[in-house]
């Protein structure tokens, strides 16, 4: 307050002490306002600093989103076979043990093992043990067309006719243009079998190669001891590469699904009783529930839930979650 104003108030009759007290109160009020403003500014700055540090800490502590490496294939049309897998021994389509008609000794093998013979062709000679016949040679003839599989006796060994008591045969001949395999099928699969069903056979001697045939006979009754039914298969063998005695893996194809939507079998997973697979959308895994049909060793038929051409995950899908970030 200016001095002129004070003196005017004094002249006008105002109390000087009162005037001083009023001035001090005005000064204190002004200081409080300034202090409040300073505190507000400091608090705002402190708040912003704390908020910035907390945000920075959250960014530092929060891990980067996990990216799963995957491999995909496109769903497409294909064929699936339903099969019964078995195994058995290969035999000639017809196999005959050949006996001598006279007693004597085997003195000559005209046909060796592995040689082809015609029906009625002489395959061996027997030296008769009959002095009255001058020990003349008797012929052993092939009863069927085929291949000499084995000799049961060697040169100089005695041979005896089959009658009146069973004796050891001289040799075995098999028809080899076709071979057969006899397999035993369990009761649960009997209804799937029909004469004429396709058969696929493989052997260790020719890895990666299949030989085709068909079912030619299904036994009319189940064996009471094994609870299985005997099934005879016939396989083409013009080149005679399949040999009697070989062990064969057999697939009886009892149903074929042609031109159906399929995915690799490893793409389909089971979760809580549901069949699922994962597709990819915008670099994210998308869980899809699907309805499946039949499967073979490599493929699974998809009946519902997927369309042809969609990409499905076949590697990296185990443990994957819906919406997870993926990279191929």
Classify residue 89: in a domain, yes or no: no
Q: 207: domain range? A: 176-257
Classify residue 191: in a domain, yes or no: yes
Classify residue 85: in a domain, yes or no: no
* pLDDT single digits (tens) 90-119: 999 999 999 998 888 999 999 999 999 999
Reference 233, options 176, 197, 181; nearest CA is 181
Statement: residue 52 has pLDDT above 80:
no
Write the CATH number for 303.
Answer: 2.40.420.20
Reference 93, options 144, 169, 40; nearest CA is 144
Domain's final residue, options 257, 281, 303:
257
pLDDT range class, residue 18, cuts 50, 70, 90: low
Task: State the chain's mean pLDDT as an integer.
Answer: 87
pTM value is 0.67
For the ranges 72-86, 110-124, 130-144, 229-243, the lowest mean pLDDT is seen at 130-144
pLDDT range class, residue 136, cuts 50, 70, 90: confident
Total number of domains constituting the chain: 4
pLDDT range class, residue 314, cuts 50, 70, 90: very high
DSSP structural state of residue 93: E
- CB contact at 8 A, 80 and 262: yes
Write the CATH number for 110.
Answer: 2.40.50.100
Classify residue 195: in a domain, yes or no: yes
Domain's final residue, options 120, 152, 169:
169
Write the CATH number for 225.
Answer: 2.40.30.170
Classify residue 86: in a domain, yes or no: no
Domain's final residue, options 169, 186, 204:
169
Instruction: Return the SS3 of 126.
Output: strand
Q: Both 252 and 180 in a single domain? A: yes
For residues 182-196, give the mean pLDDT: 93
Q: Both 240 and 271 in a single domain? A: no
Classify residue 88: in a domain, yes or no: no
CA distance 94 to 100: 19
Residue written as token pair 């979650």: 321
Classify residue 301: in a domain, yes or no: yes
CB atoms within 10 A of CB 326: 22
Q: Both 219 and 263 in a single domain? A: no
Exposure on the CB side of residue 150, measured as CA atoms within 13 A: 10
Classify residue 268: in a domain, yes or no: yes
Residue written as token pair 């195994």: 87
CA distance 124 to 170: 9
Q: Which residues pair with 141 in a beta bridge?
A: 122
């Amino acid at each position: 307050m200016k001095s002129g104003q004070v003196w005017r108030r004094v002249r006008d009759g105002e109390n000087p002490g009162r005037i001083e007290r009023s001035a001090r109160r005005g000064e204190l009020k002004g200081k409080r306002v300034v202090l409040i403003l300073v505190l507000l500014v400091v608090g705002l700055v402190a708040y912003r600093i704390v908020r910035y540090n907390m945000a920075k800490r959250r960014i530092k502590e929060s891990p980067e989103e996990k990216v799963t490496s995957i491999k995909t294939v496109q769903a497409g049309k294909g064929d699936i076979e339903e099969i019964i897998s078995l195994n058995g021994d290969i035999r000639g389509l017809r196999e005959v043990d050949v006996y001598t008609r006279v007693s004597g000794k085997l003195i000559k093998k005209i046909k060796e093992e592995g040689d082809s013979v015609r029906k009625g062709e002489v395959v061996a000679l027997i030296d008769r043990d009959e002095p009255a016949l001058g020990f003349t040679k008797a012929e052993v003839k092939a009863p069927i067309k085929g291949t000499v599989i084995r000799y049961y006796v060697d040169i100089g060994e005695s041979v005896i006719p089959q009658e009146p008591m069973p004796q050891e045969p001289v040799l075995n001949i098999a028809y080899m243009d076709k071979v057969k395999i006899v397999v035993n099928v369990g009761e649960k699969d009997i209804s799937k079998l029909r004469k004429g069903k396709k058969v696929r056979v493989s052997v260790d001697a020719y890895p990666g190669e299949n030989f085709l045939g068909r079912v030619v006979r299904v036994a009319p009754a189940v064996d009471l001891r094994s609870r299985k039914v005997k099934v005879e298969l016939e396989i083409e063998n013009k080149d005679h590469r399949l040999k009697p005695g070989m062990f064969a893996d057999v697939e009886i194809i009892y149903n074929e699904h042609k031109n159906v939507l399929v995915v690799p079998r490893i793409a389909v997973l089971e979760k809580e009783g549901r069949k699922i697979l994962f597709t990819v959308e915008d670099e994210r895994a998308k869980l899809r529930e699907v309805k499946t049909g039949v499967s073979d060793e490599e493929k699974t038929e998809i009946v519902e839930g997927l369309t042809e051409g969609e990409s499905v995950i076949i590697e990296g899908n185990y443990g994957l979650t819906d919406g997870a970030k993926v990279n191929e």
